[in-house]
Amino acid sequence: MSTCRRNRNSTGCLKPQSGAALLVILIVVILTGAAIFVTSYNPSRYKVKTNKLSSRALQHAKDALLGWAVTHPDTPGMLPWPDHPTDGNYDGNSDCLNQAPAHTNLSGRIPWLGQTAPCVAPLSGLGIQALDGSGQRFWYAASPNLVYDYSTNQPPAINSNTRNLGTGWLTVRDSLGNVLSNKVAFVVIAPGRVVGSQVRNGSTPAIGQFLDSATINGSTYSNADSNGVFVSAPHSDTFNDVLIYATVDELMDKVEKVVGKDKTKCENYYGVGDPKCAGL
């Protein structure tokens, strides 16, 4: 005895070909959708959007670092040490080394969470989980002139002469290799996606697996070599760092507004008896 599946609106039987036709239609719809997605995806547009997100987040990170520094209760203007891989992890905490501050030990990830021993108070981080447009955590380098010296247990001498120091500052170059500033207090870098031969596996990948190098007019500049020189180069298959920085003048302008409201801090900054501190 034969059976027949009938269409609700028809007295005839559904033919096997109907199911096949529906399958073909479904495949066509899927392929059409995929084609639309592929044609609408624009790598250049994606890069622009990612860079905009990174730039916005970088500004927040810069503002947070400036805020942390100028509101330091003991030494207005002092910057935190970065998050180093020396303790076996990147946990968001400042890793204060029992060493004299130098370019070679002041590059790491931004300390967004807090500080650990032997860092001195205040034991707090920036209070922001700073991520770039590709979801990577920011990197950070500070000037040796502005961090605590744990080899001597001395805070930095931040006063009216700080602006005039001739050494110890960071340098930032532009896409042509020209110096944008050689008196930089700190730099924050969005590393972006993996480029070139970078591999970011494991708990503590080296800084070179995140930050890039660029060759400009025959000279190579690397954001990963910890020599205190950083470059903002055009994006390519081997370079996609985005950075922001604050000069010492920018930092000290804000510090002076803070110390100008407190007599003790004012006299520590300008000197006892300075007219700027009169009336406080």
**What mean pLDDT comes out for the span 4-11?**
52
Give 174's pLDDT tier (boundaries 50, 70, 90).
very high
Q: Which of 18-32, 88-102, 218-232, 262-276 has the lowest mean pLDDT?
A: 18-32
**What mean pLDDT comes out for the span 92-114?**
95
pLDDT at residue 19, as a whole number: 63
Give 267's pLDDT tier (boundaries 50, 70, 90).
confident
**What mean pLDDT comes out for the span 155-184?**
96
Global pTM reads 0.81
For residue 154, pLDDT over 70 is answered with yes
Q: What is the pLDDT of residues 11-32, one digit of tens each?
A: 555 455 556 666 655 554 455 5
Instruction: Let me know the angle formed at the C-alpha of 113 by 158 and 58, rounded to the nearest 5 degrees.
Output: 70
Q: Look at the block and give the residue holding tokens 């955590």.
A: 137
Instruction: Let me know the angle formed at the C-alpha of 173 by 171 and 179, rounded to the nearest 5 degrees.
Output: 75
Q: What is the pLDDT of residues 188-203, one digit of tens each?
A: 999 999 999 999 998 8
Q: What percent of the chain has a predicted confidence (pLDDT) above 70? A: 82
**What mean pLDDT comes out for the span 209-230?**
95
Instruction: Let me know the angle formed at the C-alpha of 254 by 252 and 260, rounded to the nearest 5 degrees.
Output: 95
Arithmetic mean of pLDDT over the chain: 86
pLDDT at residue 38, as a whole number: 43
pLDDT at residue 254, as a whole number: 96
Q: What is the pLDDT of residues 198-218, one digit of tens each?
A: 999 988 999 999 999 999 999
Q: What is the pLDDT of residues 117-151, one digit of tens each?
A: 899 888 788 888 778 888 999 999 999 999 999 99
For residue 258, pLDDT over 70 is answered with yes
Cα–Cα distance between 164 and 258 in angstroms, integer?
20
